[in-house]
Amino acid sequence: MMQITPEQLTLFAATLAVAILSPGPGVIAVSQSAFAMGRQRALPYGWGLAFGASLWCLGALLGLTVVFRILPWTFTVMKFIGGLYLLWVAHKMWRGAPEPLPDPAEAQLGMNFRGGMTLNLSNPKPALFYSAVLLSIFPVTLSLADKGVIYLTAVSLELSFYTALSCLMALPLLRRRYYAAKFWIDRIAASAIGLLGLSLILRH
């Protein structure tokens, strides 16, 4: 039996939408992918990012954050590994900046579904965000049906956002701008992702 109300679900969706819009490594990476390789290559990457992000919601629903609270070192280890992965992605972007445009038929920097999922799973902080939002909006005890509806709402929003972003950033006008300034755009994107990786490692 469903315990959550339409009003609670609407509030959850609105809160999540605001959070998704805040720039993060996924937004930067899928934008750069769409610029460089177009919509056809960027969409699977964006969908991987969306699915990866939604898995943190599923983790929160299944009690992953309880594990983080009981064993704080697990969260620290995950942050460290995730930060190193973001630094590696930044390094590859930085080194690739002077190179010619990639062949759209080839996946670059792991820019495929699996690569997108890995990137968004590299940052465990969304699990804490989802946990805080779920606890503040919904009843403490949720049925399996409630959890299913909440997860489907989250994954739908994530998919909608990354699909729209991939299509928008692949527009011909934006891609032409990217072609004219590829070196600096790639270097800025690499710096932003690198700083996010360092922040993930160093921030307590």
Give the mean model confidence (pLDDT) for residues 106-123.
Answer: 79
Give the mean model confidence (pLDDT) for residues 43-63.
Answer: 92
What integer pLDDT is reported at residue 113 of this predicted model?
Answer: 93
pLDDT above 70 (res 53): yes
Residue for token pair 């590859």: 92
H or E element that contains 125: helix 125-137
What integer pLDDT is reported at residue 49 of this predicted model?
Answer: 93
pLDDT-derived band at 110, boundaries 50, 70, 90: low
Q: Is residue 4 part of a domain?
A: no
> What per-residue string of b and e applies to 144-166 under the rule 16 or more CB within 10 Å gives b?
eebbebbbebbbebbbebbbebb
The answer for residues whose C-beta is within 8 angstroms of residue 71's C-beta and 6 or more apart is none
Q: Is residue 5 part of a domain?
A: no
pLDDT above 60 (res 31): yes
pLDDT-derived band at 103, boundaries 50, 70, 90: low
Q: Is residue 2 part of a domain?
A: no
pLDDT-derived band at 157, boundaries 50, 70, 90: very high
128 and 120 Cβ atoms separated by less than 8 Å: no
pLDDT in tens, 173-200: 888 888 788 888 888 888 988 888 888 8
Query: Would you call 142 helix, strand, or coil by DSSP?
Result: coil
What integer pLDDT is reported at residue 105 of this predicted model?
Answer: 47
Q: Is residue 149 part of a domain?
A: yes
Count of domains in the chain?
1
Amino acid making up residue 173 = L
Query: What is the percent of the chain with per-residue pLDDT over 70, rounded to a whole number?
Result: 93
Distance from C-alpha of 57 to C-alpha of 154, rounded to nearest angstrom: 7
Distance from C-alpha of 117 to C-alpha of 79, rounded to nearest angstrom: 16
pLDDT above 50 (res 122): yes
In degrees and rounded to multiples of 5, residue 109 shows phi and psi of 55, 30
Distance from C-alpha of 108 to C-alpha of 103, rounded to nearest angstrom: 9
pLDDT-derived band at 204, boundaries 50, 70, 90: low
pLDDT above 60 (res 102): no
Q: Is residue 122 part of a domain?
A: yes
pLDDT above 90 (res 117): yes
Give the mean model confidence (pLDDT) for residues 12-18.
Answer: 91
Give the domain range for residue 162: 15-202
In terms of pTM, does the model score above 0.85? no
H or E element that contains 116: helix 113-121
Q: CA–CA distance from 38 to each of 77, 93, 167, 189, 193 (Å)?
A: 35, 17, 8, 17, 21
Do you know the residue count of the chain? Answer: 204
Q: Which of 167, 138, 134, 158 has the alpha carbon at shortest distance from 49? A: 158
43 and 160 Cβ atoms separated by less than 8 Å: no
- In the structure encoding, which two tokens stand for residue 161, read together? 């956002």
What integer pLDDT is reported at residue 108 of this predicted model?
Answer: 53
Q: Is residue 163 part of a domain?
A: yes
- In the structure encoding, which two tokens stand for residue 10, read together? 């609407």
pLDDT above 70 (res 107): no
Highest mean pLDDT among 3-17, 59-73, 111-125: 3-17
Distance from C-alpha of 60 to C-alpha of 129, rounded to nearest angstrom: 9
